[in-house]
Structure 1
Amino acid sequence: MPSPSAFRPSAPAWLACLCCTVVVTLSGCGNDEEPAPPPPRIVLVENVQEAHPGPQTLRFAGVVESVTTTQLAFQVAGRVERILVDEGTRVTRGQALADLDTTDYELQLRDASARQQQLHADLVRKRKLLAEGILAPAAIEPLEAALVSAQVARDTAARQIEYGQLTAPFDGVVAQRLVEPDMVVDAGTPILRMQDNQHIEVSVDLPESAALTVPLGPELKAQGQLVLADEVTLPLEYREHSTQPRDGARTYRLVLRGNPPADYNLLPGMAMRVSLQRPAPEPRDDSYLLPISALQAGPDDQHHVWLAVDGHARRQPVQLQGIEADRAQVTGPFEADAAVVVAGGSKLSEGQPIKTRQRN
């Protein structure tokens, strides 16, 4: 049987075991220490505001048009003797614009007048014979019909002479001369093109979104600004609009009317910026205004913002209603004076500690 001294470890072995035990113990004590938490992220916040939307100004491109553009023509055929106005001339209603050579119509008038006088004299003599019983009533009936025909021919010739002068049907501007003197023209051949310069019309193509909400009627508020002269502005009023979209486009034609400025020649075809007033929509109880920088978009195209709640970030889903200037109108449940993160929110996570600073 071995002696007890056979199982007693030697001094070097016992010392080695003790050192290992101390090392293991110290190592275990070191793992019990937790790493220090990261410092809170500094973010800028701003209090939410209830949305009280006002009237919105919509701007579109417009084109100046003349209210009335008329092609003027003689009502009889003939040779153009004179054109009395140049292009661009302002004329008044009834002013003479052009003359025809009426020599042929004057000869017809003289002939018809002479025939009328002759027939009238014959009729007077035969009526005396009728009264004396020499002639029967049937003898003068053809003469009476011939006299009426001569009177009609005389009046027709006189009317054709009047038609030999072209006059302005309204106050306006001679836009274009279409013929020259000594040209022989038929009745109805355009001689001059004339435009009404007392008023102007401006046409605008409205997209569907604007046509849905803009008041298309006398209550519409509009203003025009000439593209080539920013200082030229004039109020415009509603005239008419189309109820059918233009071919190949989902736009509707709106026509506005205004008075041209006295110091500028506002001509058809000129470009104009048109501002329309869209009425303020009915406010919603859950509608708020936020800086655009506060909006965050997720991978599902859903918007959200980060709120600062008790020193931590809290994700708040919102519905985007519209954007105006640097503000976004959203709907969502917000508490009064809730602090929304407007800068530094792109890398936040739910419950992350944050340190807020109010944006000036």
Structure 2
Amino acid sequence: MGQREERLKSSWPATLLAASILSSCFLLAPAKESTKKSTKKSTSPDEIPVTWEPAKPEVGGTITLQPKANLKHIYCCKWYRGEASTKKVYKILEYYPETKITVQSSAYSDREAIEGACVLVITDLILRDSGEYIVKLEKPGRLKGLGFAKIKVSGTRSDTDFHIACQPSKPSLGDTVTLRPRVSLGGITYCKWYQGPNQEDNNMIALYELETHDKITRKAVYDRGSIEKRCILVIRDLELSDSGEYTMEIKEAELVRGIGRAYIDLSVPASLLQLDPSSSAHPPVASDAHPPVPDPMLDVLAELTTPDPAPSAHSPVPDPSLSPLPVLAPSATPDPLPSTLSLGVVAGIVVWCLIVMAVTGVLLSSWLRTRRQRGRKQPR
């Protein structure tokens, strides 16, 4: 009996220790589960509300999309357009607030800009701008939050679905012009450029495939034009034949998603314009034309045939001893010296030289002949 009591007394501390260990294990299990739940909750992004103004945007207007969140310490914000449910989402741009650097992407249409920390502003709205917009806020190493906004642009549809910027707006002959479509190309397969208002194959001048980046240029811009990324058309060394309307067509597979138009109005320099002779009383004279050369023989004949004026009673009689030489009145302007001799003068000089040479030859030959004859007649 005494041994049994001693065993019970010695075993109860071990039992108490085992019970305490089991209780601590049960307490640690829910703590681990709560830690896992808190970790999962911290890694999931926050849903950010996005507001836009105006509430009902219209074609040609401007809309502002603003995420309602604390944008301090944000490393990067990214804007997308598309449909999140179908996973057809295309990036518009990335913005880094610290460095204020904007990186454009495939859905950029040259009409989007960032204001403030991460406010998206879209100008010159078109019907194609309708849809869902997504903003993603990122901190270094993790995703901060996601925001969604679905807008609908109202207005009447016209033959032009989007705008095309022409730079410079008023080009001149010989300049380089850039036609930049201001439309989102997200989901677009390829684009075509036409010279003229009609989308006909014989008017097509360029084609660009956005997935493979294949380029085709033909017709008038084959050797002076090129098509660049985002379907931008560049034409160099502009000619008069390049002026007129240009049409761009964007397609998704074989479906036309939009049509844009631009007009190149060439300004011709005034130096290239032809003057109308009838519009001026004095027609222009060529700068390299030679002035008429006065004939000195005509002046001599005029002096010989002109009678001397009769002396008047009041005019003094000149003394021949005082003026042995005739006094010439100085002219207001000196007579222009002929810079070159006319063909007639040259021909006369040549003829006179030939005649003098011929007469001299005849006289010389006759003199030699006479001298020889006299030498033969003298006696030896």
Question: Which protein is bigger by CA-based radius of gyration?
Answer: 2
TM-score category, normalised to shorter length: under 0.3
Query: Higher strand fraction: Structure 1 or Structure 2?
Result: 1
Q: TM-score, normalised on structure 2?
A: 0.20
Q: TM-score, normalised on structure 1?
A: 0.20
